[in-house]
Structure 1
């Protein structure tokens, strides 16, 4: 039995999604486009933008759509201010428009395939966020085996 490694997160996602037991645990994931960025930020507020082929969090960005109410106008119209925040590596950038955010993201990803994924809230321990990664592989007896758990 040969070992088959699949680097593409997009391919892995599309293999898992048809499984009704696993699909509910997979955050919505799409190929990165301006339209998908707009739609997913409007729905979820926070998204992760990650390389299709990548490991150890390299190249991952977090984008947020933030709002705050504006005071009513003399006509009684209530509005809101919308802005966007992009975090990557140690940098945090703020933008007044989605187009500005997309321009910076596009410059960073260039022509490489990237995914955009619904942001999920991380668990916290003593106010510090963390997540758990579990590596499960098919062994030589054709049984699934957990080979690594890391926080």
Structure 2
């Protein structure tokens, strides 16, 4: 008997699903399939965008692109991929160079969110949401991801540093506000997971990558349907990891040694 897939690879399909939810869509940055015209239009409007492969993992292939003002007011185009940054005097030259980085992969272009910083480094947050043993959606973990100082992505597998959310938010707001922000993120996580499950019934867990802008509005940068639970094990306090692990065992993502031996 065929099973319903638990993993959705296409970022565009996941974005389209979120946009169908009246509340969740207010947290989704403008995102479009990337071509020459959509990139130019997005840069003219937003000045800074991120180009992402429609199918990809760990932040690989993500490119930050900016339209800046050069000497005499002339536009200058800039992009960074990995630790490599390049500058161009025309959009056409920049777009041609992008082709060598994106190759033949399908890309999306997303409005850039100016992330909050900690110690001069950008950070975002991972919101872990899982189906409980009682089959209810529950936010089981929140963790911060501090970007590598020379890179534009925060992913742990691309040089980012996992950190407690409270540590990263402490320089931006008092404790009471931090607690309110975390509660809001927990609810956003549950709403997002429920919407994903409506479109993709096999989904049992999601990892929500969320950016807070300077007004503390949360923006969903990406939804992962096969999130890494072990990033939470890097925290000194293992409480979240133990719960995440227990839930993952319950719905079959992780098999314990005892279960493996029985089979």
SS of aligned partner of 1:84:
strand
CA RMSD of aligned residues (A): 1.8
TM-superposed CA distance for 1:123, in Å, is: 1.0
Equivalent of 2:114 in 114, 121, 141: 121
Q: Structure 1 residues 57, 28: closer, same or farther in 2, change over 3 A?
A: same
Higher strand share: 1
For 2:23, the equivalent position in structure 1 comes to: 21
Structure 2 gap segments, 5+ residues each: 145-263
Equivalent of 1:133 in 107, 126, 134: 126
For 1:55, the equivalent position in structure 2 comes to: 57
For 2:83, the equivalent position in structure 1 comes to: 90
Higher helix share: 2
TM-superposed CA distance for 1:61, in Å, is: 0.4
Which digits, 9 at most, give the CA deviation of each residue in 1:36-78, with x for residues without a partner? 11000000000000111112111100000001462xxxxxxxx
Equivalent of 1:30 in 21, 29, 32: 32
For 2:143, the equivalent position in structure 1 comes to: 150
C-alpha distance in 1 between matches for 2:91 and 2:100 = 14
Which digits, 9 at most, give the CA deviation of each residue in 1:95-126, with x for residues without a partner? 00111111111121122111100000101113
- Displaced runs of 4 or more, over 6 A: none
C-alpha distance in 2 between matches for 1:55 and 1:138 = 22
For 2:67, the equivalent position in structure 1 comes to: 65
For 1:111, the equivalent position in structure 2 comes to: 104
TM-score, scaled to structure 1: 0.86
SS of aligned partner of 1:135:
strand
Q: Name whichever of 92-101 and 141-150 sits farther off.
A: 141-150
